[in-house]
Amino acid sequence: MAYLLSALVARVTADVPAYDSVPSTDQYDQAVKDAVDAYSLRNPIVDTATLSLEADTADYDLPTDFIEVIRLRAIELADYYGEEYEIKGDGHITFYPTPDVAHHWELRYCARHAGTAVADPSYADMTDTDARVLLLLAKAYCLQLQADKAARSAWQYTEGEQTVSKVKQAETFQKMAEQALTNYERELKRIPTHGRLGLTEMPKSGD
């Protein structure tokens, strides 16, 4: 099942209504995009591509959704092991030594959920489970933005025996954000492929 970015954003917006204009429209979008990227590192898609190597050319583009190599093998040359490779951080792979004959390699790899390059991206391989779980993380991102906003504008004063405080609002949002993140981690662990990559760092959603 495919999911549009706008549909995912609508669900997060319904779960976390804006507080004092936070999150903004752009922040909702970014929270979902960041959650998709973070979820992809923890529960990637497995895909296959063919790399067409040419003689005297060492550098090649990797698929745009590439995360990590699972297996890379020469197709036509069953006993060919003459090359090593290095994955570059800029989305390239370099073979050593430079190939001296043209041939093809099958790349089986971990892929991220990549949306189509349009104004409202569609995530073609996203399942209902994927959407449900990653939206918990997007919710945590949005609640953290609200906690930060409330903390910046928090104030408290006491007059006689009466105390008026806006500090608790920030604390409430913070607890809700932490609970959403806990829920995300719990649901993620129920997915069989969770943890196969061993990648646990999650990018923080931008303001």
Do 154 and 164 touch, CB atoms closer than 8 A? no
pLDDT average, residue stretch 66-81? 78
With 70 as the cut, is the pLDDT of residue 35 above it? yes
Question: Both 66 and 39 in a single domain?
Answer: no
* Percent share of the chain, pLDDT over 70: 83
Longest dimension (CA), the chain: 87
With 90 as the cut, is the pLDDT of residue 31 above it? yes
Question: Both 170 and 132 in a single domain?
Answer: yes
Domain that holds residue 73: 45-111
Residue 55 lies in a domain: yes
Number of domains in the chain: 2
Position 207 confidence tier, pLDDT thresholds 50, 70, 90: very low
pLDDT average, residue stretch 133-158? 88
Region for 88 from its dihedrals, namely left if φ exceeds 0, alpha if ψ lies in -120 to 50, beta otherwise? beta
Residue 56 lies in a domain: yes
**Cα–chain-centroid distance for residue 117?**
16
Do 186 and 136 touch, CB atoms closer than 8 A? no
Residue 107 lies in a domain: yes
CA distances for 206 relative to 32, 138, 196, angstroms: 11, 11, 27
Give the model's pLDDT for residue 201: 39
- What does residue 183 show for φ and ψ, rounded to 5 degrees? -65, -40
Question: Both 72 and 93 in a single domain?
Answer: yes
Residue 196 lies in a domain: no
Top-confidence range, 2-6, 101-105, 117-121, 148-152: 2-6
Could you say which of 82, 111, 140 is where a domain stops?
A: 111
Of 187, 177, 185, the closest CA to residue 142 belongs to 177
Tell me the pLDDT of the chain averaged across its residues.
86
Q: What is the CA radius of gyration of the chain?
A: 23
Question: Both 107 and 159 in a single domain?
Answer: no
Give the model's pLDDT for residue 173: 95
Q: Which DSSP string corresponds to 69-122?
A: EEEEEESS-TT----EEEEETTTEEEEESPPSS-EEEEEEEEE-----SSSS-E
pTM over 0.85? The answer is no
Give the model's pLDDT for residue 197: 47
- Of 101 and 181, the structure prediction assigns the larger pLDDT to 181
pLDDT average, residue stretch 45-72? 93
